[in-house]
A = this chain, B = another copy of it.
Amino acid sequence: MDGGSTAAHAMFEADAASRGLGIELVSAGGGRAVARMEIGPAMVNGHGIAHGGYVFLLADTAFALACNSHGPVTVAAGADVEFVAPARLGDVLVATARERARWGRSGIYDVTVHRDAPDGPDGPAVVAEFRGRSRVLRDPVPRPR
């Protein structure tokens, strides 16, 4: 874990849901963040394929870390995800979030989720492409997601 952003790191400390899934904060700061998660037995169906919801959740966590790396409490207003390839039991997924645009209290962040392994016969290493829409809260009281 790097020391890039205190706000994002504090948010991650409070995010019991992400930590309970074994998500690791690799780095956060300057509108960027990287998070990792291993696909465990509770995340797959009977065929060993990860539920898309868990792939989304990892991307959403990286997005939240990136948009909160600036300081003010920021929430996800919405997101679009495209599932590129299935993830499987034992895969280690890495979500890399980058700020694309920021204006007023709004922002757009692109997150790519890829398998932490070289491309193989299963197809491309990219698992999902996610685009999140963020909103800085006016309310000074933190209401993190």
Contact = CB atoms under 8 A, between A and B. Distances in A.
Given A79-B80, A103-B123, A123-B103, A14 B46 contact: yes
Contacts of A53: 17, 53-54, 56-58, 60-61
Copies of this chain present in the complex amount to: 4
Interface string A56-89: 1110110000000000000111111111111000
Chain A interface bracket (under 10, 10 to 19, 20 to 34, 35 or more): 35 or more
A145 B49 contact: yes
A49 B144 contact: yes
Interface string A95-131: 0000011010010101010000000000110100101
A80 B83 contact: no
Given A85-B103, A103-B84, A131-B131, A47 B144 contact: yes
Contacts of A144: 45, 47, 49
Nearest to A80: B80
B54 A17 contact: yes
